[in-house]
Each structure stands twice: as structure tokens, then as C-alpha cells.
């Protein structure tokens, strides 16, 4: 797999883990599950499948310094910086363009910087399978085996069986469905044909550009101009000039939903998008009372509480409480019922409306 | 009532309101119920019954500066400072000794610095009644009308009706009972004969010294020596010398339980000792959902929570939680079920055992 590259999309914001995640401290920089930041863990788990010079990172320029400091083994030129946020379709195209300029035979797996994966060898095995299948010209999505009828994820429907690679069954994909309502999600699960869209997929660089060219010709024209300048002194100026012309659009909407030769490999490697405090709760180890204490050197004293997550760097005392998520930062405290963590985004909206930007 | 004096006992510690109350910041210094500190409120509510020069304060020397700053209208010489903590019997005796040296005809009401009183005119009316009854040589306790069979207070049993003063019935007292167990507390309430011991009582200075002399002759001998030196240059040295000889003992145990000529005036002026977070909850105004937000300039955002007290100077967000007490300080957060606030003292004990003195 000497032409295989990982492209980590590390630009996301996200405030569903407020008050810990903030505008200048998004999820990927937080040590949510393991002791290192989500981004650092995302890099570490790629070894030994990808040598450091085969790992690329695309992110907003504002995060460059933090990301480089967090992954010093990745060559500086592998950090592909967006001059401004243009959503995921342009970000992925830019990353692919830089890699393909340096290795036109590249196969690239698009990865996230802020998801948890429990079974790391299983994850790498799935990436190796996706590489092989991508050689056929397919866009190979990793579909997560669903464990409940979530309305929070997109779904991928599988079609005909294609082959088995490294023990994993590979299927033709019958397409993407956006986040369904509850009855539809229940149907999806009952059918047994659907996986969750993890946002992770592998493709050859020329397969990627075939689809961008076909579906997003204007964007692709700008990307081609930028690609020509990669690794030349003109790059910063050319990037700045063309980047601003590109529309904001997500990769699912711009490319994936109507792409040809889609395949899906259903996987089950303990994936979580850690998209809410309760999702984090589910992936952390609980003590015998169901309690969890996280943070850098947190002190916790508890008297008869249960199923309560404390995330803090300071002293937190819990007495006789159940099913809570308690998060303390320097300037705010969140106390939220475990089943209500989706409402954190409502709080962030209220803070925006009240122009309390110091909390965002 | 030109010989009437108030003696505020402001020396107490207490950690039942941890993490807000601390060793160097006891309850009386906290603005728990009103906007001012409990001590400041205790002083303010004495006007117009007591002019400032008839208000005395007894407290540990370590609190002198804070107390004086909080009540600048009280003459500096009215702050009676204990060189070390000797419990309430010596503290009251010292205060009485200083007042009586300056006005041998003094009648003195002993008051607390950290209790809440809702009906302030009713309170002052009761103090005026107690003054009159004290002229007979009685020790006049203010007995709080109990509203539940508390096991957290001492009780005073009333005997024969004595008289009515300013609309209040006055009774002979049949004595004190220490904090009872639950069945006994229920009996007390059922009998209708008992009041809670508020710790507030009025006596003439010579009545006080009659009882100290009779019951605590050794202590009284030291107090006499100290009294002779009051308002002389020798006072600091004489105080230091004799104070250390005095045993630590509470006024209830040393004097009140076996005192003669005890009387009780049952009162009902919205008293609370604010002895726990749930006691504080009960005296604060709740919004239509039963929620309370206190602190200096607290920000609170709430989504569908109920019966939850937030005490903080910072941003606190509550989502879908019920019946909680949430207290944030610079270095600690407490999240406690409303019915479990008595367990705060267990936490303080644990902190002591763990030698975490920075939290005490």
C-alpha cells in the first residue's frame, strides 16, 4: 500500500460538548476519551498502517499551530490549511489535490479527527480492506453497524455482495439517506440493510476528481488551479485567490449522495462520534456505581451518587444525585440530565442570541 | 430602654454551607439570604431599637477587621475580641463583663450573627418584650414556634403563664432539652408545650453574673479579673493572661440548662438558622418552577429544571434537572440532592481526613 494516504479532516467546530468545546477549542483538541486529544489519538491509531509522511491534515489556518504541536512527526507540508471555512467538500478536494500533486497514484482515506474508535486493530484492518476495494475505482464508505435506530446519523443502504477482503464483507452501496425521522430509522434498522454513515471513506485520487469534475465542475476548476500551484512559491497567493470563489457545501451533498460506483464495508470497531455528553458517557469506563470522573487531575468526592459523569479539572462533590452530566470549566458549569444532553446546543444558541461571545 | 444592649455573638465557624462557607469565611460573612452579609443584616435589623453604641459584638480576634468594616457605625470599643476560641459561655461572659463595666444597670440580649429573620418588626417587638420581662430578674429566652419535629434543634418547655407584654404571651420555662431523637421530637410537637431554642435570650447583667457565679465560679473569677481591667491600659495583658485559664464550654451547658428564673416567650417571626443548604433553600424566593439563583451577578441559563438552587458568581447552565443544590466557588463545585444537604458535613470531614486544608 505504498500509495495509500490518510487525510484527517480536522477543521470542525461543534459546540455539542459545551462548555468544554468552544470556538477556539473544538472537540478534536480535547482529551475526551483517552489521555491525549481526540486529534492526537486519531493520528496515533493510524500507525503502523500509515507512516507519518503519508498522513495529511486539512484544517482552518487558525488551528495550524495547535495541530502541528500535537503531531510533530507529521511533515509540516502535510498540513493543508484552508484560508477560510468552506465546509467539507472543498476541504477534502484541497487535501486530495495536494496529495495527488505529490503522488498521482494516491489512494486516500478521508478520516475524522474527533471520533472515538475502541478496536484500533479492527479499524486499521477495515482501512486496509477499503484500500483494496478502492483500486477498482469505487468510493468505499465505512458503514457503522447500528446498535439503535438513531435519528442523529445519515444511513447507507447496502446492495449486492461484492467480495470479502481481510475478513470483511464488501457491498455495492444503494446510496445515502440523510438523518431520518424516528419511524424511518426504525424501518432502516428492521431491514438489516443499513449502516450509519461514519464520514470515513477511501477513494483513489482520480476517482475523487472524476466525481468532483462531474458533479461540481466550478469547484473543480478552482481546485485544478490551486493544485497547479502546490509546492510552488505561488501557492499562497493562488490558494487565497481561488479559495474565496468556492461555495460552502458539504461533501455528502456535493459529491457522495450522487456518486457512481459507491461501495460500503459494514464495520463494527467500537466507533462513536462522541457527538454529545451522553455519547461520551457511553464510551467511558464507569465505576461500580456507574459513575465516571474525567479531566486533568480532577478531585471528586462522592456520597451515594449513581450514573453521573463529572468532567472537571477542579474539586467536584456529588451527594445523592443520579443520571447527571456535570462539566466544570474556568468560566462555566453545566449540570444536565443524562438524557437531555442534546439540549446543550439550545444553550449555545441562547448564548449566541444574548451575544455572550465570551462563553462561545 | 436606655440601659438595653444587644450582644451579637459573631465568632462561629461552621462548614455546613461548604463550599461557600470556609474556615476564613464563615456563614456570618456570606450574603446568603439578603444582599448583605448575614452579620450586616443582623446589625441593620436592630435599628431603631438599639442605637449603634448599644450594639456590641463578640468574636475571635481574627475576624475583627472584617466585622468592623462591615459595621462601621458600631464604636470600635464595642467589638469585644476573644484571644482564642473558648466556646459560647466565656464569649458571652466577656461581652457582658465589658458592657456591665460601662453600664452596671445594663440589660443585654444575646443574639446570633448568622440567622435569618423574615419579620423584622416582629423580631424587634419580641426583643422589647424580653427587655421588660428581664427586669424581673428572669433569663428570658425567645422560643421559636416549631413547624416540624426537627431533631436539629434544642427545645424549651414552657410552664405557667406569667404575663403578656406587647401582645406576646410570656411563660415560666420548665427547662431545656438537647436535640431529641425523632420519636421524642414528635412528642414535643404533639404536646404543644415546646419551642425551639433560638440561642437568643435577654438578661440583666447582674442576673447573668448571678448564674455564672453560682454555676461556673472558676470562670467567673477570671471574668471578674478581666472586667476590672476593661477600659484600662492593662486590658490586653490581663485578658490574655486570664482567658487562657478558662475552659471551653457552651453557654447552654454551662449556664442555661440549670439556670433559675428561666422564662420563655414563644415567637414566630420567620426565623431560620440557615443551618444547611436546604434550610437556605426554604427561605429564598423561588421562581414559578421552584428554581432559585443566588450569588453576586450570577448568570444562569435553564432548560426545564425544577426546584433547583444555584449559588454561583459564574455561568451555570441547568438542563432537565430537579431537586438539586448546585454551588460553585473558585475552587470547587457541589452538586447535592436537596434532601441530602446534611451530608455536606461528611464531605468536610473527608476533606479534613485527606488533609485537603486548601478546601476548608
**Residue A6 and residue A109 in contact, taking contact as beta carbons nearer than 8 Å:** yes
Bridge-based pairing of strands B79-82 and B55-60 is: parallel
Which pLDDT band holds residue A15 (cuts at 50, 70, 90)? Answer: confident
Q: Which residues of A touch B312 (CB under 8 A)?
A: 333
pLDDT for B15 equals: 80
pLDDT at A297 over 80: no
Å between B311 CA and nearest CA of chain A:
11
> Taking CB atoms and an 8 Å cutoff, what residues of chain B touch A339?
320
Asked if B324 lies within 8 A of A328 by C-beta distance, the reply is no
pLDDT of residue B12: 73
Q: Does residue A298 carry a pLDDT above 90?
A: no
Q: Is the pTM of this model over 0.95?
A: no
Q: Do B319 and A19 touch (CB under 8 A)?
A: no
A299 contacts B356? CB cut-off 8 A: yes
Pair A92, A58 in one domain:
yes
Looking at every residue in chain A, the average pLDDT score rounds to: 95
Same domain for B290 and B261:
no
Listed in order, strand segments (DSSP E) in chain A are: 4-9, 55-60, 79-82, 107-112, 116-117, 139-144, 155-165, 168-177, 194-204, 262-267, 271-272, 292-294, 299-303, 309-311, 315-319, 324-328, 332-337
Among candidates A19, A317, A336 on the partner chain, residue whose Cβ is nearest the Cβ of B347: A317
Is pLDDT at A299 greater than 90 in this prediction? no
Q: A189 with A284, same domain?
A: no
Out of B312, B321, B346, name the one closest to residue A324 (CB): B321
- Domain boundary among the residues A272, A304, A337 is at A272
Give pLDDT, residue B23.
86
The tally of domains found in chain B comes to 2
> Could you list the residue range(s) of the whole structural domain that residue A317 is in?
277-359
Same domain, B237 and B291: no
Q: Do both B209 and B304 map to the same domain?
A: no
Contact B333 A331 (CB under 8 A): no
Q: Do B319 and A335 touch (CB under 8 A)?
A: yes
Q: How far is A30 from chain B (nearest CA, A)?
A: 21
> Based on the domain organization, do A105 and A234 belong to the same domain?
yes
- Whether residue B150 is found in the same domain as residue B295: no
Tell me how far CA of residue A103 lies from CA of A1, A107, B121, in angstroms.
13, 9, 88
Contact across the interface for B317 and A326, Cβ inside 8 Å: no
Closest CA to A61 of A92, A88, A82, A39: A82
Task: Output the domain CATH number for residue A80.
Answer: 3.90.550.10
Residue A113 pLDDT more than 80? yes
Q: Is the pLDDT of residue A12 over 90?
A: no
pLDDT tens figures, B101-129: 999 999 999 999 999 999 999 999 999 99
CB contact under 8 A, A19 and B346: no
The predicted structure's pLDDT at residue A155: 97
Interval A122-132 mean pLDDT: 98
Whether the upstream peptide bond of residue B19 has omega within 30° of 0, thus cis, is yes
Decide if B334 and A346 are in contact by the 8 Å CB cutoff.
no
- Same-domain pairing of B254 and B335: no
Q: Measured between CA atoms, how close is B92 to chain A, in angstroms? A: 36
Q: Are strands A271-272 and A107-112 parallel, antiparallel or unpaired?
A: unpaired
Which of A211, A237, A272 finishes a domain?
A272
B30 & B141 share domain: yes
Could you report the per-residue pLDDT of B66-108, keeping only the tens digit for each? 999 999 999 999 999 999 999 999 999 999 999 999 999 999 9
Tell me what pLDDT residue B166 has: 97
A-interface mutation test, from B318, B335, B345, most A Cβ less than 10 A away: B335
- Find the mean pLDDT for residues A12-27: 87
* Cross-chain Cβ contact B340/A320 below 8 Å: yes
- pLDDT value for B299: 87
Q: In which band, very low, low, confident or very high, does the pLDDT at A171 lie, cut at 50, 70 and 90?
A: very high
* CB nearest B332 (choices: A19, A303, A314): A314
Per-residue pLDDT tens for A175-219? 899 899 999 999 999 999 999 999 999 999 999 999 999 999 999
DSSP at B145: P
Report whether pLDDT(A325) > 90.
Answer: yes
Are residues B90 and B197 located together in one domain of the fold? yes
A121: number of Cβ within 10 Å: 10
Which of B234, B255, B272 is the last residue before a domain boundary? Answer: B272
Residues in chain B with pLDDT values less than 70: none
The answer on A119 and A190 residing in a single domain is: yes
Amino acid at each position: 500500500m505504498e500509495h495509500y494516504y490518510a487525510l484527517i479532516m480536522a477543521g470542525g467546530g461543534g459546540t455539542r460538548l459545551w462548555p468544554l468545546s468552544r470556538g477556539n477549542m473544538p472537540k478534536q483538541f480535547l482529551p475526551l476519551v483517552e489521555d491525549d486529544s481526540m486529534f492526537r489519538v486519531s493520528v496515533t491509531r493510524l500507525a503502523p498502517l500509515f507512516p507519518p509522511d503519508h498522513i495529511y491534515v486539512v484544517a482552518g489556518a487558525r488551528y495550524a499551530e495547535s495541530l502541528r504541536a500535537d503531531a510533530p512527526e507529521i511533515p509540516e507540508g502535510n498540513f493543508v490549511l484552508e484560508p477560510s471555512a468552506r465546509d467539507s467538500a472543498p476541504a477534502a478536494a484541497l487535501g486530495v489535490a495536494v496529495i495527488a500533486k505529490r503522488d498521482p497514484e494516491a489512494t486516500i482515506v478521508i478520516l475524522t479527527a474527533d471520533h472515538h474508535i475502541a478496536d484500533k486493530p479492527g479499524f486499521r484492518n477495515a482501512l486496509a480492506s477499503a484500500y483494496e476495494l478502492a483500486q477498482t475505482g469505487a468510493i468505499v464508505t465505512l458503514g457503522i453497524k447500528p446498535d439503535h435506530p438513531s435519528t442523529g446519523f445519515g444511513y447507507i443502504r447496502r446492495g449486492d455482495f461484492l467480495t470479502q477482503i481481510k475478513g470483511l464483507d464488501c457491498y455495492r452501496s444503494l446510496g445515502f439517506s440523510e438523518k431520518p425521522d424516528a419511524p424511518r430509522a426504525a424501518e432502516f434498522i428492521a431491514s438489516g440493510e443499513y449502516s450509519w454513515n461514519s464520514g470515513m471513506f477511501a477513494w483513489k485520487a482520480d476517482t475523487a476528481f472524476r466525481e468532483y469534475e462531474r458533479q461540481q465542475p466550478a469547484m473543480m476548476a478552482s481546485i485544478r488551479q490551486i493544485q497547479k500551484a502546490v509546492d510552488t512559491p505561488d501557492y499562497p497567493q493562488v490558494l487565497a485567490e481561488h479559495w474565496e470563489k468556492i461555495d460552502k457545501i458539504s461533501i455528502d451533498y456535493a459529491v457522495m449522495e450522487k456518486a457512481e460506483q459507491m461501495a460500503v464495508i459494514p464495520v463494527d470497531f467500537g466507533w462513536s462520534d462522541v457527538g454529545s455528553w451522553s455519547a461520551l458517557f457511553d464510551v467511558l469506563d464507569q465505576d461500580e456505581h456507574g459513575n465516571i470522573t474525567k479531566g486533568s487531575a480532577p478531585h471528586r468526592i462522592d456520597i451515594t451518587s449513581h450514573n453521573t459523569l463529572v468532567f472537571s479539572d477542579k474539586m467536584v462533590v456529588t451527594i445523592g444525585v443520579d443520571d447527571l452530566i456535570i462539566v466544570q470549566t474556568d468560566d462555566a458549569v453545566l449540570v444536565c440530565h443524562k438524557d437531555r444532553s442534546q439540549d446543550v446546543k439550545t444553550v449555545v444558541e441562547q448564548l449566541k442570541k444574548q451575544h455572550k461571545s465570551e462563553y462561545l
